Homo-oligomer: A and B are copies of this chain.
């Protein structure tokens, strides 16, 4: 009896902050019988994943590998390998994931200076310049590209210049941008970037792609003490992912299968086309929300295409609406985090979830549900507004 209730779970349309929808080909890859983690056939798959990840990150970095954990393990990998006790790190904080970066850096024993921006806004490069000038020898400048808690896309060009000027390593969280927004690691002068599989790559959660520049690698090789995490030690990992194939830990075989299929789907679509798809569907959703009178919580001109962080209308029951969407329409959207808890919703349009059909599905479901919670909606107005954007994009 219990069995029927808990598994398999109900079907969902995943429009939250991740996981996003997974393509049937990727799901099928997950169920492929396993080979060993040192099998020649698996080594070929590892090479293919490294090649495709380099292409996706826009980098020639040799060390471009999927870490055996979720996006947060990617964050931890990036910081624990670079930072040693006493090192100075500047961390830009404009939401939960910037806070997390600062916390992880502090747990490395680093002297962390946070450069803050209010939730929903980008960090000002001038503030970062001031912070850098106050440092003796900043080792790391860290920033979240796409802040999943606020829906804000941080411009990186000025920060990259500042990092270069101060000879700090530039560490960028691309969890919610990689595969949805342009990310060009080498062109932009990024030293370490990380992401997760369950957002715009549309694979299940479980791996964290990470790329490490030669400059960052050289800093890692000159550490005074071992990396505090054995599991996430890049020098050890690179012996398994490099030509030596030295056993480190048992790689998550099935997740690497899934990553390969997900990357091949991205390759087949093409990056430019994929970015345009994310942009168009975001604009269609935004038009619909605007027609409803729902406002974005993120700063205009700096909104993510991949995750839409919007204000809950005054007086509306935040959890009630989400529960109705889930129970009656099978649609998941995300709640707010931190100071945005109870005040925002987060609608993700990432990877396979970013489709015209899904934009119309969530808008029409909102049109049905919101009036019940005391928010007046003119029937069809949001859907119509979105349809106009979608029609224009087709021309």
Contact = CB atoms under 8 A, between A and B. Distances in A.
Interface of A: 2-3, 5-12, 14, 16, 18-19, 21-22, 27-37, 39-42, 44-45, 48, 68-73, 76, 80, 100, 103-104, 106-108, 196, 198, 204-206, 226-231, 247-255, 257-258, 260-261, 264, 326, 332, 337
B28 A10 contact: no
A27 B31 contact: yes
Contacts of A14: 34-36
A255 B258 CA distance: 12
A49 to B, nearest CB: 9
Given A42-B9, A76-B229, A229-B229, A196 B250 contact: yes
B11 A33 contact: yes
A89 to B, nearest CB: 14
Q: Interface centre among A18, A100, A229, by most B CB within 10 Å?
A: A229
A36 B7 contact: no
B72 A69 contact: no
30 contacts: A2-B48, A9-B32, A9-B39, A9-B41, A12-B35, A14-B36, A19-B36, A19-B253, A36-B332, A39-B326, A68-B69, A68-B70, A68-B73, A70-B249, A70-B250, A70-B251, A70-B252, A72-B249, A76-B230, A76-B231, A106-B226, A107-B228, A196-B250, A204-B253, A205-B251, A206-B206, A206-B254, A206-B255, A252-B255, A255-B255
Contacts of A253: 19, 204-205
Contact of A250 (B2, B18, B68): B18
Contacts of A6: 41, 44-45, 48, 260
B252 A44 contact: no
A42 B10 CA distance: 10
**Complex copy number for this chain:** 2
A7 B252 contact: no
Contact of A72 (B19, B72, B231, B264): B231
Nearest to A28: B31
Nearest to A67: B69
A10 B104 CA distance: 41
Contacts of A206: 68, 206, 252, 254-255
Contacts of A261: 7
A33 B14 CA distance: 10
Contacts of A3: 264
Query: Which 6 A/B pairs are nearest by Cβ-Cβ distance?
Result: A31-B31, A9-B41, A206-B252, A72-B249, A30-B30, A204-B254
A33 B22 contact: yes
Contacts of A40: 326
